Amino acid sequence: MSSADETLDRIKAQVEEETPDDIEIDSVAFEGPELVIYTPDAQTVANRDGIVRNLAQTLRKRINVRPTQEALVPPNEARARITQTIPEDAGVQNLDFDRQTGEVFIEAEKPGRVIGRHGATLDDISASVGWTPEVVRTPPMESSTVSNVRNYLKQEREERRDILQRVGRQINRPTTSDEDWVRLTTLGCCREVGRAAFILSTPESRILIDCGDKPGAEGEVPYLQAPEALAAGPNSLDAVVLTHAHLDHSALIPILFKYGYDGPIYTTAPTRDLMGLLQLDYLDVASKEGRTPPYESQQVRDALKHTIPLEFGNVTDIAPDIKLTMHNAGHILGSAVCHFHIGEGRYNVAFSGDIHYKDTRLLDGAVNDFPRVETLVLESTYGGKNDYQTDQSDSERVLRDVINEAYENDGKILIPAFAVGRSQELMLVLEEAMRKGDIPTMPVYLDGMIREATAIHTAYPEYLRDDLRQRILYEDENPFLAEQFEQVDGGDEMRQDIADDEPAIILTTSGMVTGGPVMSWLRLLGSDPDSTMAFVGYQAEGTLGRQIQRGQDEITLGDTSGPRAERVSLKMGVETVDGFSGHADRQGLESFVETMHPRPEKILCVHGDASTTNQLSSALYQKFNMRTHNPKNLETFRLS
């Protein structure tokens, strides 16, 4: 008998001892970070206060109670009973039964009506049919990504369960080492922006945090071949943890599966969906530009299949000696500050990912309240001594002025923006400004993935600010559905018609002008002195966006060294509107550290150019008298 089986036998005995005599325990199993208890009395367990909570405290595991097969009413009969139980105005769209888990997934327009007061309707459903109801919301905007991900995971249920069981056994394996250390190795994004990647290792475990590309620098990838990284093979990793979906953090995760990785990815549910969207677009852009993609779409699907979504605030075992808790980072939808608790109180490390400390129209600001943190790995994108962003209200006023001036000149306003995060923030600003008459009502064309990314936002309203969530769900005032927003879906022919037509705002990817539809717009509008290009986000060194921002008035589009290269004389106006970035500025980063509870002993300043990380590191040392570093790539720090 394997050690995992012995552990499960011991746990089953504990569960039987801790539960009342009238409750039968059929079996227990590890599935990912959860301990699953199968019982024909699942409803009894659910209805008795304290049973699951007490088991979780005793076993120090996340507990999921599921019914055994014989406790389930056949699906056809169950469907009829469930339909009769749920109020008609709940807007149920679909019922999906999973026999392996005993769960019935109920997709509805109004999940609250399915749940009922204090969960009464769910209790009635479970008592009537034996199935455990799980409610998912029908997105207010149809999202092909959300639909495709849900359908794909449904098709892969059997294999996914095998993955979860294998991961569960790996997490719960016996520890074997008497050594006591924690090391952190930097594989990218040190003294640079992009290709974020770190290895967190102990004598027992190895965790990869992020695995991204570098904008504007083809071929510069994380140092995965380093001895501290994957020299022993991809499956020397216990887990991959993804802070958020932007490509400089997520683009190269599928390449791990190309080379044989078969372990879990931990992130939030919206990050999982956005990750898939952006990675598939990454492949599409590479193909259109004649570049060889580093992986195929199958590896993107493999990444989705191996993702275990976590909710903010849930403490989760991801290795025998490491627990992970994710907290809102305020950067984009689903972005997380990742807190790692190592050993039995041995050490605590937090990775900020990308953070925005203050509230925005879209998201609440980053969380920085942790039980303990000895080391903080802190982004420094805007950490330079002069990197103070304009107040958001001032930024919005400047943007309105830019738009009004271009409108008066009968020109277009071209705004390159990240599809995820900045675009939705700008849509909220533009919708309100037009509704209040601060700018003329005109078409706002969404080009690239922006509309699809926006639909994903509406599928996860619980991650948005309260007032925005209320507008989307309950007040029938979804700002993202305002009639002035129009999708560009006719290719270059439609773009030409827009360029020849009335004044308009064009919100387009890519945000750093490194490819995508913004290139077509530069061809069409670049030589028009009446039009204006407005930068609202960070432009990394080496990108075309940074060159234009610095005043370059002749640019090359397409393959800069090949026969397809095209020179464009840039005569359109160029404006930079600070304050819309999803990153905290210097003041925000200092405030994040100052108000941390508790404050860390050591900070590593990363994800910024060399001067920026050095300036922030020095400032934090002087202001808070703590150890700080601005590491290079391929450095290893012994933390404990």
244 is in an annotated binding site: yes
Average pLDDT over every residue of 619-631: 96
Q: What is the pLDDT of residue 292?
A: 86
249 is in an annotated binding site: yes
The CATH number linked to 50 is: 3.30.300.230
In a domain, 470, yes or no: no
Instruction: Tell me which H or E stretch contains 66.
Output: strand 62-67
Domain count, the chain: 4
Do 91 and 220 have their domain in common?
no
Q: How confident is the model at residue 538 (pLDDT cuts 50, 70, 90)?
A: confident
Do 563 and 597 have their domain in common?
no
Is the per-residue pLDDT at 293 higher than 70?
Answer: yes
Q: What is the pLDDT of residue 367?
A: 96
Q: Could you give the C-alpha distances from 54 to 24, 154, 344, in angstroms and in order? A: 17, 32, 20
Half-sphere exposure at residue 475, Cβ-oriented, CA atoms within 13 angstroms: 10
In a domain, 189, yes or no: yes
Distance CA 206, CA 307 (A): 17
Q: Choose one of 42, 69, 96: the last residue of a domain.
A: 69
Q: What is the pLDDT of residue 26?
A: 92
118 is in an annotated binding site: no
Do 152 and 276 have their domain in common?
yes
Residue 323 sits at the vertex; the CA angle it makes with 325 and 420, to the nearest 5 degrees, is 35
Do 60 and 78 have their domain in common?
no
- Give me the domain span that covers residue 324: 145-170+179-385+583-638
Average pLDDT over every residue of 593-610: 94
Do 314 and 223 have their domain in common?
yes
Q: What is the mean pLDDT of the chain?
A: 92
Half-sphere exposure at residue 480, Cβ-oriented, CA atoms within 13 angstroms: 26
- Please compute Rg for the chain using Cα positions: 26
Do 97 and 194 have their domain in common?
no
Highest mean pLDDT among 40-54, 515-529, 613-627: 613-627
The dihedrals phi and psi of 615, each to the nearest 5 degrees, come to -65, -40
- Taking only the tens place, the pLDDT of each residue in 297-319 is 999 999 999 999 999 999 999 99
Instruction: Report helix, strand and coil shares of the chain as percent, to nearest 5.
Output: 35, 20, 40
Q: Choose one of 576, 610, 629: the last residue of a domain.
A: 576
Length of the chain: 640
Average pLDDT over every residue of 141-163: 93
- Is the distance from CB of 402 to CB of 577 less than 8 angstroms? yes
Q: What percent of the chain has pLDDT over 90?
A: 74
Average pLDDT over every residue of 142-165: 93
Average pLDDT over every residue of 198-224: 91
457 is in an annotated binding site: no
607 is in an annotated binding site: yes
Do 377 and 413 have their domain in common?
no
Do 415 and 496 have their domain in common?
yes
Q: How confident is the model at residue 218 (pLDDT cuts 50, 70, 90)?
A: confident
Do 222 and 305 have their domain in common?
yes
Residue 619 sits at the vertex; the CA angle it makes with 613 and 624, to the nearest 5 degrees, is 125
Do 120 and 149 have their domain in common?
no
Is the per-residue pLDDT at 2 higher than 70?
Answer: no
The CATH number linked to 338 is: 3.60.15.10
Average pLDDT over every residue of 135-150: 90
In a domain, 461, yes or no: no
pTM of the model: 0.92
Do 94 and 234 have their domain in common?
no
Distance CA 37, CA 132 (A): 13
Q: Choose one of 49, 69, 89: the last residue of a domain.
A: 69
Average pLDDT over every residue of 401-412: 96
In a domain, 459, yes or no: no
Higher per-residue pLDDT: 498 or 566? 498
Q: What is the pLDDT of residue 1?
A: 47
354 is in an annotated binding site: yes
Distance CA 233, CA 224 (A): 10
- Is the distance from CB of 622 to CB of 603 less than 8 angstroms? no
- Taking only the tens place, the pLDDT of each residue in 126-137 is 989 999 999 988
In a domain, 376, yes or no: yes
In a domain, 453, yes or no: no
Do 439 and 501 have their domain in common?
yes
- Taking only the tens place, the pLDDT of each residue in 219-257 is 789 999 888 888 778 889 999 999 999 999 999 999 999
The CATH number linked to 565 is: 3.40.50.10890
Is the per-residue pLDDT at 37 higher than 50?
Answer: yes
- Taking only the tens place, the pLDDT of each residue in 355-400 is 999 999 999 999 999 999 999 999 999 999 999 888 889 999 999 9
In a domain, 477, yes or no: no
Is the per-residue pLDDT at 93 higher than 90?
Answer: yes
- Is the distance from CB of 185 to CB of 128 less than 8 angstroms? no
Q: What is the pLDDT of residue 50?
A: 85
In a domain, 231, yes or no: yes
